[in-house]
Each structure stands twice: as structure tokens, then as C-alpha cells.
Structure 1
Amino acid sequence: MTRHKLVALMPMRHSSERVPGKNYRPFGDGRPLFHHMVDVMQSCPQIDKIVIDTDSPDIAAQCAEKYPDVVILDRPEHLLGGMTPMNDVLLHDISEVDSEFYLQTHSTNPLMTVETLNKAIETFFANYPIYDSLFSVTRVQTRFWDSLARAINHNPNILIRTQDLPPFYEENSCVYIFEGKCMKERHNRIGLRPYLFEMERLEAQDIDEEIDFRIADLIFKQTRGA
């Protein structure tokens, strides 16, 4: 069995509750949504192999035609539910394709560029093993309150500018890089010493709902001339 250095994982289900068929829906320049991230990953020289875990015959057929080098894993029935933890899916995937390190992303981040993904990979390996994993984040500087109307990160009596508030970092689900051994031991794609890789908000657009799809599609067309 071939052991790779870095394998990219992109799990996708055929059905989507909030945005029906989003993974293979035309996006931006007309390509199916998931094609955008496959093209980005194929342009990263440090990625040895791309693996798509799916139950979708449409996705499998499109890959066979356009991306024959992409490995398709049929998702087992016990992992098909929408409530299945992503870490369980990833554990199955890494058991099927051996690698020292893995990168996980989503088809729903179609604005992420090759340059950003390459930078994330380079950043991880430049800082490993001081940091044992990496995940992408978006800086947020705004006034947060809890459900009991208590200020979390600011003093309501001293309204400093939001850009001067200490930043919080939102996990944006664009990139995760982790060691296979650590994933098996901890059952978690985030290690004990994760590196927070900051991304520009424009590239970190994630598609969860229909309004997200429309916004990302508009941004793509306006910024990339589609």
C-alpha cells in the first residue's frame, strides 16, 4: 500500500437539507460547486492525492469523467445521516487511504484560492511539530453579548471602536490539516496544539443556506469576471 505525505479529503453527501443539490449545482462560471475546490486542490503541488467520500452517484460519475485521478470512497450506510459527526467520517477515510498527514476542506468554500491553500499547507509544515494541527479562522472584531444580555468582550460603559476590540476568531471550516496518527488517537481533527490560520473574510464564505449560495455566487462573478 502506498503511503502518502499529504492527502486531501473532501467529504460530500448527495442530499443537502438546506440547499438541495448544492454540491453539484452550477456555481459562478457554471461549473458544479464541488469542481471549484477540486481544481484548487489539484493546483497544490504538496497534495499527493485527493479523496472524495460520498454517497452521490452524480458526484462519482462527474469525477470519473473529469477527475479520474481523484479517489472516490463510497460512504458506508452507518455514516450517511446528517447528524453523523465529521470526525467519524474522517476516521473512516483515513483508514482507507494511508498518509502521514491529511488536509480536509469542503466543497462549500468555493472562493478559497490556490494561493491561500498553498500558504496554509506551507504554514503548517513550517511550524510542525511545534503545532500539531492547523485550522482556518476568520478574525471577528465586534461587540458580543450572551443570551442574558451580558457583555462578553467589551465594557458597555466605555464604547471603544470595534476595530480596537481584542479579536475573536471564528472557525470557518475552510481548511484543516492534521496528522493521521493524532486523528486516530484523539478522534479529533484538531490536535492539542493547533495553529490558527487566519483567512480573509471574502475567501472564507461558507455555503450553509440558500442566501449564502447567492452571496458567494455574486462575489465570484464580481471578483473573477464570470
Structure 2
Amino acid sequence: MTRIVAIVPMRHDSQRVKGKNYREFVAKPLYHYIVGTLLDCPSISEVVIDTDSPVILEEAARLFPSVRLLERPENLRDGATPMNDVLLHTTSVVPADFYLQTHSTNPLLTKASIERAIATFQEKAPAFDSLFSVTRLQTRLWDQLARPINHNAAILLRTQDLPPVYEENSCIYLFTREILARRRNRIGDRPLMFEIDEIEAQDIDIETNFLLAEQLFRLHRQSGEA
């Protein structure tokens, strides 16, 4: 059986939304949602939290006893430390065939999407060596010099008729340690893009994101979708 380890890296401090990883979101700390979702995924062999937060380390040990907790080394705690360096350390400690990395800031990400991503990747391997999730965009994009990126400005197509482009949304990455070490990147030489709906892919980066995600979560829960 393929061993897939899920990694959730979480810093104690965050610059734009203070303490967001353990801040109350709807009814419980934000990180509880993604951890609970990952634990409910039958394809995931183990869930790992990598953190420098004493709050998360203490609470998760009590509430999620099956989760492996890794206290982040001092040399990897600076906010400017690349995520790939953090992941290289985590993957050196916890062996796996593949790693699935996500974030606590994706509370609307569902078990169904995670399981579908894993199944799709397994079906298409080895044609693809890694997977990352994306959000489809069909809108007119311009670069900083006012040059059209994905359309001909002289031909006013309806936005729904534009060829889609895709935004890396940081919800799901599937990769091996070999790819991470060789490329210093979670995305391999032959990556598979996995599309996720923009609402489910909501990421909390600033205060407005936090408030919007809470409202979307409540709406989904009321409709039975979350």
C-alpha cells in the first residue's frame, strides 16, 4: 500500500493575521478543520503537524493524539525561511512514498477533493510525477506594462469564451522527497494540475480573507456542504 503522509506546517506568529492558525474560526481554532479533514481521509497514512507554536503543540497533543507533532528547529523558524527548507526537514524525519502538503488556512478544503486528488494522481502516474491544485480563471489579465496576457485586446471575447489560465492555490501538493530535494520545489518535472472550485480554495492570508472564509463556511454548513 502506498504510504501518503500529510504535512501541515504552522507558524506560531503570522504577520498579517495575528495568531491565525489557532485563532477561533466559527466555533473552534482554525487549524482544527484541516487536521480533522485529513484524519478522515482513508488514503492518508499519517498526519504530521510541523510547528514552532507552543499553543498548537500542547493542544494538538491532547485533542489529536494520532497526529505526529514535530517541533520546528530554531534555524527554520524565521518568517523569511523558504517553505521548501521546512519541508525538507519534515520529510527527512517522516518517511513516505508521497507527501501531501496543505495549510491550516484552507478550512473549506474537503475530504472529497483530497481523496479525488490522490485517486486522480495514482491513476495517471507515472505519466505525472507530482500534483498541485489550481483555480481556473477566465478573466482578462494584463501584465505590469499594460500588455494583455491571455487575450487579444482587439478582439472582445466574452470572458467565458477566453482560454482558461490557472492560479496555483496552495491547497494541495503531492510530491516525493526526491523531487523536493532535487528541484527545491514541490512541483516536479511532469506535474498534474488539479482543479478546485474557487470557494473551496479560499485561503486566509489577510483579515478580510478570514472574515469572508467564516461567512462562506457558515453558508456551506447550513446547506450541508461543509
Deviation at 1:154, TM superposition (A): 1.3
Q: Is 1:203 aligned to residue 200 of structure 2?
A: yes
- Where 2:21 maps in the other structure, the secondary structure is helix
Instruction: Give the superposition deviation at 1:4.
Output: 7.1
Comparing 4-13 with 212-221, which one deviates more in the overlay? 4-13
Cα distance between partner residues in 2 of 1:195 and 1:67: 31
State yes or no: 1:215 paired with 2:212. Answer: yes
- 2:187 is matched with which residue? 190
Equivalent residue runs for 1:99-178 within 5 Å: 99-178=96-175
CA distance in 1, matches of 2:2, 2:168: 27
Which residue number in structure 2 is paired with residue 17 of structure 1?
15
In 2, Cα distance between equivalents of 1:60 and 1:124:
32
1:42 aligns with 2:61: no
Instruction: Tell me the SS of whatever aligns to 1:99.
Output: coil
Whether the aligned pair in 2 keeps the contact of 1:50 and 1:71 (CA below 8 Å) is: yes
CA drift of 1:214 comes to 0.3
Q: Which runs of 5+ in 1 are unaligned?
A: none
- Aligned twin of 2:6: 8
Following superposition, the deviation at residue 179 of structure 1 comes to 1.5
Pairing 1:59–2:94 present: no
Residue by residue over 1:115-174, the C-alpha shift from the partner in whole angstroms, topping out at 9 and shown as x without a partner, is 111101111111111100000000001011111111111122211101100111000000
**Identity level (%):** 56
Residue pair 1:4, 1:98 contacting (<8 A) in 2 also? no
- Alignment: residue pair count: 223
Q: More deviation in 142-151 or 202-211?
A: 142-151
RMSD: 1.3
Distance in 2, matches of 1:12 and 1:139, equals 27
